[in-house]
Structure 1
């Protein structure tokens, strides 16, 4: 069993080494997350810690899936609400990852659902994301009701440095029943 929790800046800092292990594993499995392999665990830990100010300020929201048996982080996802005045109704989903040992448990879908519910509850009406074309993630987003916008050739490289096309997706969220507080 797993629990999904939103991490505070302090929890992020406290969990940076666990999150780094997850990132190193995911990049090692070939996921295109903006890093090249082999990813140094110290570099990955520093990257996670560098996100704490944005999490503290509400510019980045972060969820983790924890294994109930041992408390380790098995997956994560991020939401970056738009900062511009004309874009405060939307956000970008990023860095959805699940450790190889925990795949097949529907964790990616649960993390995404938690993010979507929180976004809708805070007044976001539109989410966007990109993912490597042909990847298992692409199929997961389609099955979760995301709408394909199109494909951009050679948008990003995989961890080996090989360019791949990227598929862009969006999802509209239900309007909240009443005015919700701002994300933060």
Structure 2
């Protein structure tokens, strides 16, 4: 039996349906682990499934965003989204959203692999600027810097942590392609 290394793939709408259980597991477990990705604890499977099916899938179908999945041992273990639909005065820009790697699969280079695919796709789409925001001081901030993002500024008290107990600052970052 051969060992298949982890890989990243752009997901189609049917891939979202086929991997919905894993997509929900990655999202729910990451929020439970404290990931600041817009959801609050406790995040249930039904809410997670609605996010993937009702928010992400239609945008992927319309070509407004790309969804990338990281796979290992036949299971989806991480995702990142590239938002392409921007206001009319920003056709040159894309945005990174929901960079998520399952807590048990972190520190293996999957985040960097996901980001590399998203940035390559942005360039293929003719984008010249990519932006994102991240919880200030979060481990993801160093990941983003490692793939060329620069801090643009910090907004204090931007959002609540997933436990709802305290607010955190957000760092906006950008990268030219």
Give the TM-score normalised by the residue count of structure 2: 0.93
Q: CA deviation at 1:13?
A: 2.0
Residue 148 (structure 2) pairs with residue 148 (structure 1): no
3-state secondary structure, aligned to 2:40:
coil
Aligned to 1:62: 67
Aligned to 1:178: none
Query: In the aligned structure 1, how far is the partner of 2:136 from the partner of 2:32?
Result: 18
Match for 1:34 among 14, 33, 38? Answer: 38
Query: In the aligned structure 2, how far is the partner of 1:127 from the partner of 1:157?
Result: 25
3-state secondary structure, aligned to 2:60:
helix
> Does the aligned pair in 2 maintain the 1:76–1:98 contact within 8 Å?
yes
Q: CA deviation at 1:134?
A: 0.7
Query: In the aligned structure 2, how far is the partner of 1:87 from the partner of 1:76?
Result: 25
The runs of at least 4 aligned residues of structure 1 exceeding 3 Å deviation read none
Query: In the aligned structure 2, how far is the partner of 1:82 from the partner of 1:74?
Result: 26
Q: CA deviation at 1:144?
A: 1.7
Give the TM-score normalised by the residue count of structure 1: 0.90
Q: CA deviation at 1:83?
A: 3.2
Query: In the aligned structure 2, how far is the partner of 1:84 from the partner of 1:166?
Result: 22
Q: RMSD between aligned alpha carbons?
A: 1.0
> Does the aligned pair in 1 maintain the 2:67–2:80 contact within 8 Å?
yes
Segments of structure 1 that go 5 or more residues without pairing to the other structure are 174-184
Q: CA deviation at 1:82?
A: 3.3
> Does the aligned pair in 1 maintain the 2:65–2:85 contact within 8 Å?
no
* Cα-to-partner distance string for 1:26-58 (whole Å, 9 max, x where unaligned): 101101111111110111011111121110110
Q: CA deviation at 1:131?
A: 0.2
Query: In the aligned structure 1, how far is the partner of 2:53 from the partner of 2:126?
Result: 28
Query: In the aligned structure 2, how far is the partner of 1:85 from the partner of 1:41?
Result: 36
Match for 1:167 among 157, 161, 171? Answer: 171
